[in-house]
Structure 1
Amino acid sequence: MRISEMKQALASLTAVNFRLPDGTYLPSHFHVTEVGLVTKHFIDCGGVERRETVANFQLWEAGDYDHRLAPQKFLHILQLSERILGSEDLDIEVEYQQATIGKFGLAFDGTDFQLTPKQTACLAQDACGVPAFSLELPQLQTACCTPGGGCC
């Protein structure tokens, strides 16, 4: 999700809800503690220099159970952050504390914001020799598996 898409979604909402990939909602008393510009400058395993820039939101919860972030307040926070983020329509990455700080992508389903899983990947598979492979599963038998039968 890009910043412009988030602003558009916030303009139509009466409440701001975030849902984790497992379907559970963040507590309604969450805070947006940071909006930042994160640039990653790196070299991939094939030797190609790369840069990635995202808008980063940090979500946090405290013991102030009566706190609610209204959509208009969130829009105001985004307007304040424009002096850091600039005018580029950046992708959004969300940080949320779990067992460690989790990094998520962001989507919107028309009602709620969805924290989406992020995955690592090799960006230079041809250069670093990652073979293409396909996983072939054995045919499952309708009868119970037998030792040495190849189904388990």
Structure 2
Amino acid sequence: MKISEMKQSLAGLDAVNFRLPDGTYLPAHFHVTEVGLVSKHFIDCGGVERRETVANFQLWEAGDYDHRLAPQKFLHILRLSEKILGPDDLDIEVEYQQATIGKFGLAFDGTDFVLTQKQTACLAQDACGIPDSALALPQLQVAGCTPGGGCC
């Protein structure tokens, strides 16, 4: 999801809800503790220099059970962050604390914002000589892996 899409989605909401990939909702008293610009400048395993820039939202919850972030307040936070994010319509990445800090993509289903799973990938598959069939196999194993199932 891009910043412009989030602003458009917030404009039509009565409440802001975030849902994890497993379907559970973040507590209604979550906070947006940071909106930032994250730039990554790196070299992939094929030797290609790359740059990636995203808008990063950090979501957090505390014992402030009376706190509710209204859509208009979230829009206000986004407007304040424009001086940091700049004019580009950036993709959004979300950080949320679980066993460790999780990084998620973001989607909107018409009612709720949905944190989507992110995965690592080889960006230089042709340079590494990894066949397409080898790339599909780990994803199949992970998808079918369950606790106690012996695959992990």
**If the length of structure 2 is used for normalisation, what is the TM-score?**
0.87
Distance in structure 2 (CA, Å) of the matches to 1:12 and 1:103: 26
| Displacement of 1:131 | 2.0
Q: Which of the two has higher C-alpha Rg? A: 1
Give the equivalent residue in structure 2 for 1:39: 39
Give the equivalent residue in structure 2 for 1:25: 25
Is the partner of 1:122 in helix, strand or coil?
coil
Q: Which amino acid aligns with 2:77?
A: I
| Displacement of 1:128 | 1.1
Number of residue pairs the alignment of both structures matches: 136
Give the equivalent residue in structure 1 for 2:144: none
Is the partner of 1:64 in helix, strand or coil?
coil
Distance in structure 2 (CA, Å) of the matches to 1:20 and 1:132: 30
| Displacement of 1:132 | 2.5
Give the equivalent residue in structure 2 for 1:150: none
**If the length of structure 1 is used for normalisation, what is the TM-score?**
0.87
Distance in structure 2 (CA, Å) of the matches to 1:131 and 1:73: 48
Distance in structure 1 (CA, Å) of the matches to 2:102 and 2:56: 12
Is the partner of 1:127 in helix, strand or coil?
helix
- Listed as ranges, the gaps of 5+ residues in structure 2 are 138-152
Distance in structure 1 (CA, Å) of the matches to 2:133 and 2:73: 49
1:73-107 CA-partner distances (Å, limit 9, x unpaired): 00000000000000100000000000000000000
Distance in structure 2 (CA, Å) of the matches to 1:29 and 1:36: 21
1:21-43 CA-partner distances (Å, limit 9, x unpaired): 00000000000000000000000
Q: Which amino acid aligns with 2:64?
A: D
Distance in structure 2 (CA, Å) of the matches to 1:132 and 1:56: 31
Q: Which amino acid aligns with 1:82?
A: E
Q: Which has the higher helix share?
A: 2
- Listed as ranges, the gaps of 5+ residues in structure 1 are 137-152
Distance in structure 2 (CA, Å) of the matches to 1:21 and 1:132: 26
Give the equivalent residue in structure 2 for 1:71: 71
| Displacement of 1:129 | 1.6
| Displacement of 1:12 | 0.1
Distance in structure 2 (CA, Å) of the matches to 1:132 and 1:37: 33
Is the partner of 2:132 in helix, strand or coil?
coil
Matches within 5 A, 1:67-106: 67-106=67-106
Q: Over aligned residue pairs, what C-alpha RMSD do you find?
A: 1.2
Q: Which aligned runs of 4 or more in structure 1 are off by greater than 2 angstroms?
A: none
Q: Which amino acid aligns with 1:25?
A: Y
Give the equivalent residue in structure 2 for 1:56: 56
